[in-house]
A = this chain, B = another copy of it.
C-alpha cells in the first residue's frame, strides 16, 4: 500500500526500452559464458567474475526503476532470464516487486526462494500486503514470517486472512489515521505534521469515539479549507459511506464507482473501525473480476503467466476442454438416433449444425447480458419479471425474424419448401429454448449464491446443441420423411 515515488516513473515506451536493455544484459552474459566454456581450466573463476559484473550491472539498472516497472519487466521475461533478473534485484525492493507481479508470475519467483530469504523479504511489507501474497507463500516460510511479526501485526494479518476473497475484509488495509471529534483542526494539523507522512490514498481522516466506533470522516479538503480554530465535530462529515467487514466486495466496488470514493472506513456490526478500503484495491478487483469472467467465457481456468511451462498452461486449459468433449459427444448422440432420417435426406446433415450454432449464439447473448446486469447490481426482485418478459418477447421476435431468414437461405440453396419450413420452425423453437436456458442458468446460479458466469456458456451450448439437433431432426422425420 506504500507508494514509493523514489524510483523513476516512465511511459510504456520507456518501459519497453528498459526491458530491451535488461534482455541485452542477460544475453550478453549467456554469450560470454558460452565463449568462456571453450577453455575449461579457467571456466569457474571467469564465470564467477562475469556473473558478479553482470549482477552489478543489472542491480544498477533495477535500482533506478519503480517496483511496478520491475514487476512488468519480470513478467515479460522468459523463465530462465526471469530468475537471473530476480536475483539481481536489491533486497530493499523485493517485497514491493513481489506484491506487484501477477499471481502466476509470483509463484515462479517464490518457488526458487528459501524460507529464510522469503521471510526477510516479506518483513519489508505491511500486514495487508503480506496478506495479498500469503496464498503463494509456502507454509514453512509463512511460519517464519508470523514469528517475525509483533502481536498487533499478527492480529491484523489474521484478521485479513480470516475473510474469503469475495468479502471486503480480505481487501482492507490498516493505513487509516483516526482522530477524536473534540480536537480542533489546528491540533489535527499539528498531529499530522508530527506523524511526518500519511499512508497513501489518505483523502480523509476517520473520527472515532473512545470505543473505536466511527462517528464521521474529516476529508483533507475540509481540514485545509476550514478555520483552524474550529472543532473536528463541527467540520466532519457524518453522512459518509462505510462498509461492513463481511460485505460483498462487488457491492463495495459499485459503491466506489457510484460515489467516486478514494478511501472508506470498514466497520464491524457494532460500527467499530476494523480497517480501511482504498480505490487501488477496488481497481485491481474490478480488473481481475472482469478478466476472470472473460477467461471463464473462453474456458480458461485462470490468467496465465505468459512464460509458464507448457505443461502448466496445458493443465490450465484442459479442464473445460474435457468437459466440452463430454458435452459434445453427448449432444451428437442425438444425431445418432436419427441416422435413418439422415440417410433418407442427406441435406439434413449440412443444415443441422446451423440450428445448433444459432441457438448457442442467441442464448449466449441473453446469458451474457444477464450476467453483466447481475454484476452491476441492476437486476432486483422488483424488476426481474419484467426483464424476463422482455427477453421472452425478444426471443419470439428473434425467432420469427431469424427463422424466416434461415428458411429463405435454405429455400435458395435446396429449392425445397417443406425442408425450408422445417428449418424455419426448428430455428424458431430452438431460439426460444436458447433464451429460456440463457435466462434460467445465470439467474438460478445467482439465486443460489454461485457465480453466474462460471459454466453458463458450456451448459448453455450443450443444451442448445442437443436441442437444436433433436428439434430439427425430429421435425424432419415427422414432416419430410414418408
* A interface residues, Cβ below 8 angstroms from B: 3, 5, 8-9, 11-12, 16, 19-20, 23, 66, 68-69, 71-72, 75-78, 100, 189, 192-193, 195-198, 200-203, 220-221, 224-227, 237, 239-241, 247, 251, 254-260, 262, 279-280, 282-284, 286-287, 290-291, 293-295, 297-300, 303-304, 306-307, 310-311, 313-314, 317-318, 320-322, 324-325, 328-329, 331-333, 335-336, 339, 342-343, 346-347, 349-351, 353-354, 356-358, 361-362, 364-365, 367-369, 371-373, 377-383, 386-387, 390, 393-394, 397-398, 401-402, 405-406, 409, 413, 461, 465
Contacts and interface: CB of A to CB of B under 8 A. Distances in A.
Contacts of A353: 328, 331-332, 335, 353, 356, 465
A202 B225 CA distance: 13
Contacts of A373: 306
A259 B358 contact: no
A297 B368 contact: yes
Contacts of A343: 343, 346
When all copies of this chain in the complex are counted, the total is 2
A156 to B, nearest CB: 20
B328 A383 contact: no
A194 to B, nearest CB: 9
Contacts of A11: 247, 251, 255
B347 A239 contact: no
A314 B382 contact: no
27 contacts: A9-B240, A11-B247, A12-B251, A12-B254, A23-B382, A68-B258, A75-B378, A78-B383, A189-B224, A198-B224, A202-B221, A257-B280, A279-B283, A286-B287, A286-B290, A290-B293, A297-B298, A310-B397, A313-B390, A317-B398, A320-B361, A321-B398, A324-B357, A328-B353, A332-B354, A343-B343, A343-B346
B394 A310 contact: yes
Given A221-B202, A354-B332, A357-B324, A259 B318 contact: no
B225 A197 contact: yes
Given A306-B383, A378-B76, A402 B283 contact: no
Contacts of A461: 357
Contacts of A297: 294, 297-298, 368
A5 B357 CA distance: 50
Nearest to A318: B401
Contact of A257 (B257, B284, B313, B364): B284
A266 to B, nearest CB: 13
Contacts of A328: 353-354, 357-358
A314 B394 contact: yes
A266 B5 CA distance: 19
A365 B298 contact: yes
Most chain B beta-carbon neighbours within 10 Å: one of A23, A76, A298: A298
